[in-house]
Structure 1
């Protein structure tokens, strides 16, 4: 299964997503904001199959995190989440960096499907 870094400042959403991914057998690590996620990525030398991050967070938001992570680890697949339409629009210019943006609220099935889609796209890219 995949190794996934989940970055979400809302504890209940973070816990929900972690449980959903662990149900599918994925190995997960968590960060509360983009700065902490960059620290985890650096410590782990970018060894993740997927970075799943909220967009709106304190300290460093998901857009800055996506740009920073992609600059250092260009092969990292990135999936963003947001409950704010204007935040989704901010991510539109990141098509080369971000696989997709998942709207909140989402169900267990929706987040699992979005993650599986992102991981499948990563496999297709590496196989090509």
Structure 2
């Protein structure tokens, strides 16, 4: 069962995505921001995918993606955003990330994007 790390500051979105992925058989560790995601990654847990919102307090998703790409280059990264300007910022990271999923998205869309990223 793939283990996914989800970093999302909005509790409703975090719950929605966690439930959707768990329903598809994935194990999900959900955290509120990029700093908590780094803590989870540092606790020697093995993750198969990082899904992160771009706009978060503390360490945003772009900063998190850059750190993860440097420290764990084999970990696929999926970004989420509801802001078109942020999507453009993420476009500059094409080589580091699997995809950018634009909010609002459906359960099916986020699950398919995650499963695509897991397959490489």
The verdict on a shared fold, with TM-score over 0.5 as the criterion, is yes
Q: How many residues align?
A: 120
SS at match of 2:59: coil
1:72 match: 71
Q: 4+ residue runs of structure 1 moved beyond 4 angstroms? A: none
Alignment gaps of 5+ in structure 1: 122-128
1:42 match: 42
C-alpha displacement of 1:2: 0.8
2:95 match: 96
2:4 match: 4
For residues 28-74 of structure 1, the C-alpha deviation after alignment (integer angstroms, 9 at most, x for no partner) is 101100011011101125x1110000000000100000000111111
CA distance in 2, matches of 1:14, 1:59: 17
The question of 1:57 aligning with 2:87 is answered no
Alignment of 1:17-32 (within 5 A): 17-32=17-32
SS at match of 2:77: strand
SS at match of 1:9: coil
CA distance in 2, matches of 1:2, 1:24: 10
Alignment gaps of 5+ in structure 2: none
CA distance in 1, matches of 2:89, 2:107: 25
SS at match of 1:94: coil
